Amino acid sequence: MLLYIAFIAALNLWLGYVWGAYLRPCPRCARARTTGLPLSLFSRRRAQATPTAESTPASSSKPEQPETTAATDPSHMSSTVASSGEADSAAGSDADDVMAPHLDPVTGLVNREYAEQLLAKLAEAEVINEPLTVALLEIANLDWIGEEPNIAIDNRLLCGVSHVVRQSLAEEHTMARFGEQQFLLVVPHEDVERATQRAEELRQRVAATEFIAEGRSFQTTLTCALAEMTVKRGRQELFEFLQEALDEAKRYGGNRTFMHDGNSPTPVVPPEMNIAIQQLAI
C-alpha cells in the first residue's frame, strides 16, 4: 500500500512538471525547454538581473555624475591626459611619443634639447644591453685675418661640416647641434674603441675637405672627444668626461681625437686612412 501511494505521488509530481514546463505557455519555461537548462537557473539569473524598485534610482543616477564631469570639465580632461602621458614616459613605452624633434635653424639638425632628452631616456633604462658611445665634436674657428668675421660664411661652413660628418654615420646614429661650434653624436651598438675609428674617419675627412663659398676656399678641422655611456654613468658625469677629453685634445693643439675611459682622457693614435682631398660648395 505504501509503495502504491508513493508511486501515485511521484506520478502526480511528474505530470505537474510536464504541464508546467512543456504544456503551459510560459516564456521562462519555454526558455528552459529550448536550452535544456534547469528552470531554477533562470529563476536565479532573473532575480539577480532585476533590481528592486528601491535600488533602481540610486544605481542609475550616481555613476552618471562623474562621467559627465570627465567629459565636460576641461581641467579634468587635461589633468587626465597629463597623468597618462607621465605614466607612459616613466614606463618608457614609446620613445617617439615623448620626444618631438627640435631642429636647429642653421644646420637643420636636431638641437641640444633633443639630444639631452634622448640621452635622458637612455639613462632611464635600468640595463643597457648593447654598447652606446657619445662623441662631442668641435669645429675650429676660421681665422679672419684682417677681416671682419662673416657670420654667413661661418654658418655655411657649419652646414658643410655637418654634411661631411653625416657621410660617415649610419642611419641609426643621431647628430645634434650641441653648441655654437659643437656637434654631439649618439652612436648606439658601438663601444668606445670602435667609435673612435669612426670619429677618426670623419675628422680626417673634414681636414681633407675644401669648403667653397663665394669663390673662396675655406678649411677647418674637428677636435673629437668620446666616452661610453653605461648604466652607472649618469648624463652629468658623461658630459664632464666629454668636456674633459675635449679640453685635453685642444690643449694638444686640436684636430685630435681623445677618449675618456672613466679615469682620464687618452689620446687616440690616428690610423692611416686613404682619404682623398675633396671640394664641397657651401
Asked if residues 111 and 177 have their Cβ atoms less than 8 Å apart, the reply is: yes
Strand partners of residue 188: 132
CA–CA separation, 180 vs 151, rounded Å? Answer: 12
CA–CA separation, 280 vs 61, rounded Å? Answer: 74
* Nine-digit cell string for 233: 654613468
Q: What pLDDT digit, counting tens, does each position of 35-93 carry?
A: 343 443 333 334 444 444 444 444 444 444 433 333 333 333 232 223 323 333 333 44
CA–CA separation, 257 vs 246, rounded Å? Answer: 8
Q: What pLDDT digit, counting tens, does each position of 105-125 carry?
A: 999 999 999 999 988 887 776
Comparing CA positions, the residue from 270, 140, 136 lying closest to residue 201 is: 270
**Which pLDDT value is given to residue 235?**
83
Q: Which amino acid is at 117?
A: Q
Mean pLDDT of the chain: 75
Structural domains for the chain: 2-50 (no CATH), 105-281 (3.30.70.270)
CA–CA separation, 222 vs 204, rounded Å? Answer: 8
**Which pLDDT value is given to residue 68?**
32
Asked if residues 209 and 220 have their Cβ atoms less than 8 Å apart, the reply is: no
> Can you give the pTM of this predicted structure?
0.63
Asked if residues 206 and 169 have their Cβ atoms less than 8 Å apart, the reply is: no
Give DSSP secondary structure letters for 46-85: HHHHS--TTHHHHHHHTTHHHHHHHHH-HHHHHHHHHHHH
Asked if residues 28 and 34 have their Cβ atoms less than 8 Å apart, the reply is: no
Q: What pLDDT digit, counting tens, does each position of 167-191 carry?
A: 889 888 999 999 889 999 999 888 8
